[in-house]
Amino acid sequence: MTEPARSETTEPATLRLFFALWPDDATRDALNRTGKWLYQHWGGRRMRADTVHITLAFLGETPADRLDDLVACADGVESDAYDLVLDQAGYWRHNRIGWLGASETPPQHFELVRALNTGLQQAGFPVDARPHVPHVTLLRNARGGEVPACTPVVWPIREFVLVQSNLDPDGAHYEVVRRWALG
């Protein structure tokens, strides 16, 4: 694994981490277009195109010395590639998030989430007990309202990634730390 050299003194004790699906360029462009479309209906703040993703497992603040264990968990995942069709806009009132989801989710997606979370749980990582809803957050602080029809985005899922989230004053900055190909 390639890591930037860091001195002992600047190495953070914990890293904010999550596993995610990260879009290829064409999918990112398509999601960005849907983000513009939803913004026209629901307002709020659009996510930057280079940050859109689907969270598979959120770990939160994780001791840096457990990174090897995390990598081992992901190495143990044997899931198949699939295409995810995102065709359904959604709005969550409680956090004012506007998102794009799937009216039909392929079983391979749930299998990937299950395999990953089971491995993480067995290795002692805290995992989210809530049922997984596949979604791409496109708007924050949105007002919601009538749900507009969306052009389906066909996302070829060929890999998953581990992401480090740096919460800066101007918002979260994400860095893909490592990638795993799907069979």
Q: Which of residues 132-151 bind ligand ATP (CB under 6 A)?
A: 137
| Amino acid, res. 17 | L
Per-residue CA distances from 179 to 14, 21, 57 (Å) = 20, 10, 14
Nearer to ligand ATP, 52 or 77 (CB): 52
Q: Token match 């462009």: residue?
A: 29
Residue 117 interacting with ligand ATP (CB under 6 A): no
Nearer to ligand ATP, 36 or 48 (CB): 48
The interface mask with ligand ATP, positions 16-45, x = CB under 6 A, is x-x---------------------------
Name the minimum Å distance from CB 113 to ligand ATP.
Answer: 11
Nearer to ligand ATP, 7 or 118 (CB): 118
Q: What DSSP string runs through 24-57?
A: -HHHHHHHHHHHHHHHHHH-SEEPPGGG--EEEE
Of the candidates 22, 25, 61, 30, the one whose C-alpha atom is nearest the C-alpha of residue 167 is 61
Residue 55 interacting with ligand ATP (CB under 6 A): yes
Cα-flanking dihedrals φ and ψ of residue 74, to 5°?
-70, -35
Using the rule CB under 6 A, which residue among 58, 82, 92, 110 binds ligand ATP? 58
For the record, the structure tokens of 104 come out as 């039909």
Task: Determine which helix (DSSP H) or strand (DSSP E) holds 115, and give its type and residue range.
Answer: helix 107-122
With contacts defined by CB under 6 A, how many residues of the chain interact with ligand ATP?
Answer: 10
Q: Interface residues with ligand ATP (CB under 6 A)?
A: 16, 18, 55, 58, 128, 137, 165, 167, 171-172
